[in-house]
Structure 1
Amino acid sequence: MSASTPDPPGVSNRIADGVFFNAVVMGRDIQVTLPAEIRPALTGLPRPAAVFTGREQQVDALLRSLSPDGEGGKVLVSAVAGMAGVGKTELVVQTAQRALRESGWFPGGVLFVDMFGYDPDRCLSAADALQGWLQAIGIPGEHIPASEQDRARLWRSVLDAYTSQDRRLLLVIDNARTRDQVVPLLPADPAIAVLVTSRHTLNIDARLHDLNVLDSDAAVALIREVIAQRRGADDPRLHAPDQQQTMADLAELCAGLPLALRVVAALLADRPHLQPAALADRLRDDQARLDGLSRQEIAVRAAFDLSYQHLTDDQALLYRLMPVNPGLDIATEAAAALTDLPTARVAVLLEDLHRAHLVDEPAADRWRMHDLVRLHAAGQSATSPDGTHTARHRLFTHYLHATQAASTHLVPTGPADTTRFPSRQDALRWLDAEHDNLVSACVSAPTHDLPHIATGLASALGHFLYFRRHFIDWITVATNARDIFHQLGDRHGEGATWGNLGIALQQVRRFDEAITAHTNALDIFHQLGDHHGEGQVWSNLGIALAEVRRYDEAITAHTYARDILHQLGDRHGEGQVWDSLGIALQQVRRFDEAITAHINARDILHQLGDHHGEGTAWGNLGVALTEVRRYDEAITAHTNALDIHHRLGDHHREGQAWGNLGIALRQVHRYDEAITAHTNDLEICHQLGDRHGEGRAWNNLGIALRQVHRYDEAITAHTNALDIHHRLGDHHREGQAWSNLGIALAEVRRYDEAITAHTNARDILHQLGDHHGEGQVWDSLGSALQQVGRFDEAITAHTNARDIHHRLGDRHREGQAWGALGIALGQVRRFDEARSCWEQAVDAFIETGDAESATLIRTLLDPLES
Structure 2
Amino acid sequence: MRALRLARCWTIEELAEASGVSVRAIGDMERGRSLRPQRGTVTALVQGLDLDEAAHSELLAALRAGRPATKPSVSPASPYALPRGVRDFVGRHAELATLRTLVQQSVTESRTGNRAVRSPAPVVVLFGPPGSGKTTLAIRLAEESAPSFPDGAFLIDMRGLDAQPLSADQAVLRLLDAWGVADAELGRQSAEERLARYHATAAALRAVVVLDNVGSEAQVRPLLPREGGLLLVVSSRRTLAGLEGVHRTELGALTREDSASLLRAVVGADRVDAEPAAVLAVTELCGHLPLALRVAANWAATRTNWSLQRLADRLTDEERRLDALSAGDLRVNTAFALSYSRLAPGTARMFRLLSLVPGADFSIPSAAVLADTSLPAAEDLLEELLDAGLLMASPGDRYRFHDLLRLYAGARHRAEDGDEASVAAKARLRAWLLDTAVLAGRWYEPEHGAPSPAPGRLVALGDREQAMRWMKTESDNWLAAFREAVETGEHAKVIEVADATIWFSDHWVSWGHWIEVYKRAAEAAAALGDPVREATHRNNLAGAYWIGERRHDKAVGEAGRALAIAEKCGDVTQQAWAHHHLGGLHALVDDLPPAADHYQRAKELFAQADEVNGYLAASNMTIRVAEKAGRPRQAVAAYDEVMDLLGASEYRDRIPPNVRDYSTMYAAFYVSFAHLNQGHWQDAVDALRPIRGQLEAHGWHERAGMVHLHMAHALVHLGELAEAETEYRAVLTMADLVPPAMLDEARAALDALAAGTPSPPTHFA
What TM bracket, shorter-length normalisation? 0.7 to 0.9
After superposition, residues 708-747 of structure 1 pair within 5 angstroms as: 708=753
Distance 1:681 1:404 in 2: 41
- Compute the displacement of 1:450 (Å): 3.7
User: Structure 1 residues 35, 604: closer, same or farther in 2, change over 3 A?
Assistant: farther
- Compute the displacement of 1:542 (Å): 1.0
- Compute the displacement of 1:70 (Å): 10
Distance 2:698 2:191 in 1: 27
Distance 1:11 1:588 in 2: 35
Q: Which residue of 2 aligns with 1:154?
A: 197
Asked if 1 retains the 8 angstrom alpha-carbon contact of 2:158 and 2:211, the reply is no
In the alignment, structure 1 residue 179 sits paired with structure 2 residue 217? yes
Candidates 167, 173, 186, aligned match of 1:131: 173
Distance 1:332 1:11 in 2: 38
- Between 1:386-395 and 1:364-373, the stretch displaced more is 386-395
In the alignment, structure 1 residue 88 sits paired with structure 2 residue 122? no
Distance 1:136 1:302 in 2: 39
Candidates 482, 488, 491, aligned match of 2:531: 491
- Compute the displacement of 1:519 (Å): 0.4
Candidates 673, 676, 679, aligned match of 1:623: 673
Distance 2:404 2:40 in 1: 41
Q: Which residue of 2 aligns with 1:380?
A: 412
User: Structure 1 residues 448, 250: closer, same or farther in 2, change over 3 A?
Assistant: farther
Q: Which residue of 2 aligns with 1:394?
A: 428
Give, as a single letter, the amino acid of the residue that structure 2 aligns with 1:82.
Answer: G
Secondary structure of the structure 2 residue equivalent to 1:209: strand
In the alignment, structure 1 residue 478 sits paired with structure 2 residue 528? no
Give, as a single letter, the amino acid of the residue that structure 1 aligns with 2:247.
Answer: R
Q: Which residue of 2 aligns with 1:441?
A: 481
Asked if 2 retains the 8 angstrom alpha-carbon contact of 1:173 and 1:195, the reply is yes
Where structure 1 has 5 or more consecutive residues not aligned to the other structure, the ranges are: 14-29, 163-167, 688-692, 716-739, 744-771, 777-866
Distance 1:672 1:646 in 2: 23
User: Structure 1 residues 656, 489: closer, same or farther in 2, change over 3 A?
Assistant: farther
In the alignment, structure 1 residue 200 sits paired with structure 2 residue 246? no
In the alignment, structure 1 residue 577 sits paired with structure 2 residue 615? no
User: Structure 1 residues 265, 619: closer, same or farther in 2, change over 3 A?
Assistant: same
After superposition, residues 528-677 of structure 1 pair within 5 angstroms as: 528-606=569-647, 607=652, 608=655, 609=657, 610-642=660-692, 644-645=694-695, 654-655=704-705, 657-662=707-712, 664-665=714-715, 667-668=717-718, 670=720, 673-674=723-724, 676-677=726-727
In the alignment, structure 1 residue 58 sits paired with structure 2 residue 95? yes
Give, as a single letter, the amino acid of the residue that structure 1 aligns with 2:684.
Answer: A
Distance 2:71 2:278 in 1: 60
User: Structure 1 residues 679, 366: closer, same or farther in 2, change over 3 A?
Assistant: farther
Q: Which residue of 2 aligns with 1:113?
A: 155
Q: Which residue of 2 aligns with 1:276?
A: 311
Give, as a single letter, the amino acid of the residue that structure 1 aligns with 2:690.
Answer: N
In the alignment, structure 1 residue 328 sits paired with structure 2 residue 323? no
Asked if 1 retains the 8 angstrom alpha-carbon contact of 2:125 and 2:247, the reply is yes
Give, as a single letter, the amino acid of the residue that structure 2 aligns with 1:475.
Answer: I
Where structure 2 has 5 or more consecutive residues not aligned to the other structure, the ranges are: 1-27, 42-64, 110-117, 454-459
- Compute the displacement of 1:621 (Å): 2.5
- Compute the displacement of 1:282 (Å): 2.6
Query: TM (normalized to structure 1)?
Result: 0.70
- Compute the displacement of 1:467 (Å): 1.7
Asked if 2 retains the 8 angstrom alpha-carbon contact of 1:706 and 1:714, the reply is no
After superposition, residues 741-756 of structure 1 pair within 5 angstroms as: none
Give, as a single letter, the amino acid of the residue that structure 2 aligns with 1:118.
Answer: G
Secondary structure of the structure 2 residue equivalent to 1:189: coil
Distance 1:63 1:309 in 2: 40
- Between 1:345-354 and 1:452-461, the stretch displaced more is 452-461
Q: Which deviations, in whole Å up to 9, do the C-alpha atoms of 1:63-110 show, x marking residues without a partner?
A: 222223899886822322211111112223333444447xxxx15265
In the alignment, structure 1 residue 213 sits paired with structure 2 residue 237? no
Distance 2:731 2:507 in 1: 20
Q: Which residue of 2 aligns with 1:299?
A: 331
Q: Which deviations, in whole Å up to 9, do the C-alpha atoms of 1:771-816 show, x marking residues without a partner?
A: x99xx9xxxxxxxxxxxxxxxxxxxxxxxxxxxxxxxxxxxxxxxx
Q: Which deviations, in whole Å up to 9, do the C-alpha atoms of 1:368-411 show, x marking residues without a partner?
A: 22222222222333331363333333323333333333334434
Q: Which has the higher contact order (CA 8 A, sep 6+)?
A: 2
Q: Which deviations, in whole Å up to 9, do the C-alpha atoms of 1:132-152 show, x marking residues without a partner?
A: 333333334444355443333
- Compute the displacement of 1:286 (Å): 2.9
User: Structure 1 residues 605, 382: closer, same or farther in 2, change over 3 A?
Assistant: farther
For these two proteins, the number of residue pairs brought into alignment is 680
- Compute the displacement of 1:698 (Å): 4.8
Distance 2:282 2:577 in 1: 68
- Compute the displacement of 1:525 (Å): 0.7
- Compute the displacement of 1:523 (Å): 0.5
Asked if 1 retains the 8 angstrom alpha-carbon contact of 2:358 and 2:480, the reply is yes
Q: Which residue of 2 aligns with 1:792?
A: none
Asked if 2 retains the 8 angstrom alpha-carbon contact of 1:682 and 1:694, the reply is no
Distance 2:739 2:199 in 1: 16
- Compute the displacement of 1:673 (Å): 4.6
After superposition, residues 447-466 of structure 1 pair within 5 angstroms as: 447-466=487-506
Distance 1:604 1:393 in 2: 47
What CA RMSD, in Å, does the superposition of the two structures yield over aligned residues? 3.8
Secondary structure of the structure 1 residue equivalent to 2:389: coil
User: Structure 1 residues 652, 462: closer, same or farther in 2, change over 3 A?
Assistant: farther
Q: Which residue of 1 aligns with 2:375?
A: 343
User: Structure 1 residues 151, 576: closer, same or farther in 2, change over 3 A?
Assistant: closer
Secondary structure of the structure 1 residue equivalent to 2:390: coil
- Between 1:348-357 and 1:47-56, the stretch displaced more is 47-56
Q: Which residue of 2 aligns with 1:250?
A: 282
Asked if 2 retains the 8 angstrom alpha-carbon contact of 1:53 and 1:222, the reply is yes
Give, as a single letter, the amino acid of the residue that structure 2 aligns with 1:83.
Answer: P
Distance 1:225 1:320 in 2: 29
Q: Which residue of 2 aligns with 1:849?
A: none
User: Structure 1 residues 116, 513: closer, same or farther in 2, change over 3 A?
Assistant: closer
Asked if 2 retains the 8 angstrom alpha-carbon contact of 1:605 and 1:611, the reply is no
Q: Which residue of 2 aligns with 1:500?
A: 540
Distance 1:671 1:552 in 2: 39
Asked if 1 retains the 8 angstrom alpha-carbon contact of 2:735 and 2:743, the reply is no
User: Structure 1 residues 696, 408: closer, same or farther in 2, change over 3 A?
Assistant: farther
Question: Computing the radius of gyration over CA atoms, which structure comes out larger, 1 or 2?
Answer: 1
Candidates 416, 420, 425, aligned match of 2:465: 425
In the alignment, structure 1 residue 76 sits paired with structure 2 residue 118? no
Give, as a single letter, the amino acid of the residue that structure 1 aligns with 2:482.
Answer: C
Secondary structure of the structure 2 residue equivalent to 1:361: strand
Asked if 1 retains the 8 angstrom alpha-carbon contact of 2:70 and 2:179, the reply is no
Q: Which deviations, in whole Å up to 9, do the C-alpha atoms of 1:616-670 show, x marking residues without a partner?
A: 2222222223333332122111222336546777657644543553454455355
Query: TM (normalized to structure 2)?
Result: 0.79
User: Structure 1 residues 100, 126: closer, same or farther in 2, change over 3 A?
Assistant: same
Asked if 2 retains the 8 angstrom alpha-carbon contact of 1:331 and 1:366, the reply is yes
Q: Which deviations, in whole Å up to 9, do the C-alpha atoms of 1:534-565 show, x marking residues without a partner?
A: 11211121111111222111111111111111
User: Structure 1 residues 470, 280: closer, same or farther in 2, change over 3 A?
Assistant: same
In the alignment, structure 1 residue 189 sits paired with structure 2 residue 227? yes
- Compute the displacement of 1:494 (Å): 2.3
Secondary structure of the structure 2 residue equivalent to 1:79: strand
Asked if 2 retains the 8 angstrom alpha-carbon contact of 1:11 and 1:37, the reply is no
- Between 1:478-487 and 1:511-520, the stretch displaced more is 478-487
